[in-house]
Amino acid sequence: MTDIATVGAFRLEDSAVNRMGYGAMQLAGPGVFGPPKDRGAALAVLRAAVASGINHIDTSDFYGPHVTNALIREALHPYPGDLVIVTKVGAVRGEDASWKPAMAPADLVRAVHDNLRNLGLDVLDVVNLRLMGRVHEPGEGSIEEPFTALAELRRQGLIRHLGVSNTTSAQVAQARGIPEVVCVQNHYNLVHRADDALIDELADIGIAYVPFFPLGGFTPLQSSILSDVATQIGATPMQTALAWLLHRARNILLIPGTSSVGHLRENLAAAGLSLSDEALARLNTIDNRGAR
């Protein structure tokens, strides 16, 4: 089994997380709504992730809603001492599975308490404020009111650290002026590189960058160059895409999502891949369709 420690760890203030983590969103039912098809399989993925050395799990109470948090609690509580569970607030689900912004201070208080209760925690390790922007792309605008509300919950001891998701550079700067930001979670992968400058900016100031949709999310990555390079190095395209992210910058932490133990193991094996300068150069030529 791959030793994920080979790709190192990154410090989120008082805790160090392995750069290879796990995103739990895929454990809910279709459309991230309702229960999983196979509850036992979902619990097995979570237990296998932690048994493999993963100590960074990404979730939200709006996955399901409540479903992934309940699965995490059932599979892993009482939690290992080094496990960092990162959640996000800022949206709720409609009865039709829609995603609705919920950024008022009272919504955020409710969301933080929902996460605490459903995860079975007294304090949340990291809470990302998920800005609704343009669905999976950020949009400018002040975040002072919602971020100040989260800072107050942190002051009360309900949250250890804060992050921002689906954010612009200006919004990160604004959030840093309120309390602190330990991580940024935005849409980024081999073919969607709009955040190249932001990643470098955050690396310089020691803030983690956690790409969501590292494998393309609901539209799996597809590229003939990616497939060619993968064949050359004896890996799958998904593993190669994850290895590219690990090479891209030291502050990138991975949270690929999967509902299968087989895919989880394949993804972890990306930690053992090395990419030659030639392979990296070829991967870097892949069309940057996501550029803003």
Ligand X SMILES: NC(=O)c1ccc[n+]([C@@H]2O[C@H](COP(=O)([O-])OP(=O)(O)OC[C@H]3O[C@@H](n4cnc5c(N)ncnc54)[C@H](OP(=O)(O)O)[C@@H]3O)[C@@H](O)[C@H]2O)c1
Catalytic residues: 63
Does 24 contact ligand X by CB under 6 A? yes
Q: How far is the CB of 165 from ligand X (least distance, A)?
A: 4
d(CA 91, CA 291): 26
When binding is defined by CB under 6 A, the residue of 18, 69, 87, 259 that contacts ligand X is 259
Site string for ligand X, 128-157 (x = CB under 6 A): --x---------------------------
d(CA 47, CA 216): 24
Does 115 contact ligand X by CB under 6 A? no
Touching ligand X, residues 180-219 (CB under 6 A)? 185, 212-217
Q: What is the 3-state secondary structure (H, E, C) of 153-214?
A: HHHCCCEEEEEEECCCHHHHHHHHCCCCCCEEEEECECCECCCHHHHHHHHHCCCEEEEECC
Question: Is the Cβ of residue 146 or residue 214 nearer to ligand X in the bound state?
Answer: 214
Strand, coil or helix: 58:
strand
63 secondary structure, DSSP code: T
Q: How far is the CB of 277 from ligand X (least distance, A)?
A: 25
Does 235 contact ligand X by CB under 6 A? no
Does 66 contact ligand X by CB under 6 A? no
Q: How many CB atoms lie within 10 A of CB 16?
A: 14
When binding is defined by CB under 6 A, the residue of 107, 127, 266, 286 that contacts ligand X is 266
| Residue 174 and residue 222 in contact, taking contact as beta carbons nearer than 8 Å | no
Does 254 contact ligand X by CB under 6 A? no
Q: How far is the CB of 280 from ligand X (least distance, A)?
A: 20
273 secondary structure, DSSP code: -
> How many residues in the chain?
292
Question: Is the Cβ of residue 246 or residue 255 nearer to ligand X in the bound state?
Answer: 255
When binding is defined by CB under 6 A, the residue of 129, 191, 238, 243 that contacts ligand X is 238
d(CA 31, CA 278): 38
How far is C-alpha 161 from the chain's CA centre?
Answer: 15
Closest to 125 in 3D by CA, of 175, 174, 170, 162: 162
When binding is defined by CB under 6 A, the residue of 52, 87, 174, 258 that contacts ligand X is 258
Question: Is the Cβ of residue 121 or residue 157 nearer to ligand X in the bound state?
Answer: 121
When binding is defined by CB under 6 A, the residue of 19, 46, 54, 58 that contacts ligand X is 58
Calculate the alpha carbon distances from 46 to 10, 57, 153, 255, 270 in Å.
Answer: 21, 9, 28, 13, 18
Q: How far is the CB of 174 from ligand X (least distance, A)?
A: 18
Binding residues vs ligand X (CB under 6 A): 23-26, 58, 88, 130, 165-166, 185, 212-217, 220, 238, 255-260, 263, 266-267
